[in-house]
Chains A and B, each alone.
Chain A
Amino acid sequence: EAQVTQNPRYLITVTGKKLTVTCSQNMNHEYMSWYRQDPGLGLRQIYYSMNVEVTDKGDVPEGYKVSRKEKRNFPLILESPSPNQTSLYFCASSPGQGRQPQHFGDGTRLSIL
């Protein structure tokens, strides 16, 4: 089954404790991205990757890191999480440019205390 898998689905942690949210896709998609969803703001892109070892900033990259060492994986790293990073996070992938829609993971709810 074609899917984007995120882990964990939920995480409560404390300020400053490094965390990683994993994302994996099994569709051999070149493009992957991370979004955060906040009430009234919709989804905003954090980082994206056009291919292995190619990453770039989206609209709200501050406080986040990503890596793309393999085509299927695109982890999101919060080196020193802060309460303003409490949000719902989505990973997405797509085969390329144009009309192809993005496939989303099921989301990760992060709470930073």
Chain B
Amino acid sequence: AQTVTQSQPEMSVQEAETVTLSCTYDTSESDYYLFWYKQPPSRQMILVIRQEAYKQQNATENRFSVNFQKAAKSFSLKISDSQLGDAAMYFCAYKGNAGNMLTFGGGTRLMVKP
């Protein structure tokens, strides 16, 4: 079974600075998908970014980018120019190529200091 580990229960960053959230996963599959979801205090689950394992190029979405290291099974999220609205729980998630189940990490709570 796949497992996803987020080793940082909490992180803090100064507004306008950069922060990186870590995620590692374990799988025997070669083709899969990785996601980062944001959960603000409103509890909504908001997709931040996704990465296909067959793509070598790291995904980027505006201030959000990933560092995908397939051999190391690592999928970190970098947030540049952090804003107060970025404060939330962040979840890393894995999905295999066959099926739809998402396997989530335990989450990282990000605090942004003004």
Determine whether the beta carbon of B101 is less than 8 Å from that of A45: yes
Contacting pair B35 A97 (CB below 8 A): no
Interface of A is mostly: strand
B44 at the A/B interface (Cβ < 8 Å)? yes
8 Å CB interface, A46-96 against B: 48, 50, 58, 88, 90, 92, 94, 96
The minimal Cβ–Cβ distance linking B34 to chain A, given in whole angstroms, is 10
Number of interface residues of B (CB under 8 A): 25
- Residues of B near A50 (CB, < 8 A) are 100
0/1 string, B19-55, CB within 8 A of A gives 1: 0000000000000010100000011110100101000
14 contacts between A and B (CB under 8 A): A33-B100, A40-B9, A42-B4, A42-B6, A42-B104, A42-B105, A43-B91, A45-B101, A99-B50, A99-B52, A101-B35, A101-B47, A101-B50, A107-B44
Q: A33-B100, A35-B104, A43-B91 are in contact. List 17 more A-B contacts (CB 8 A).
A: A33-B101, A40-B107, A42-B105, A42-B106, A42-B107, A45-B101, A48-B100, A88-B43, A94-B100, A97-B97, A97-B100, A101-B50, A102-B100, A106-B42, A106-B43, A107-B43, A107-B45
Q: Give the B-binding residues of A (Cβ under 8 A).
A: 31, 33, 35, 40-45, 48, 50, 58, 88, 90, 92, 94, 96-99, 101-102, 104, 106-107
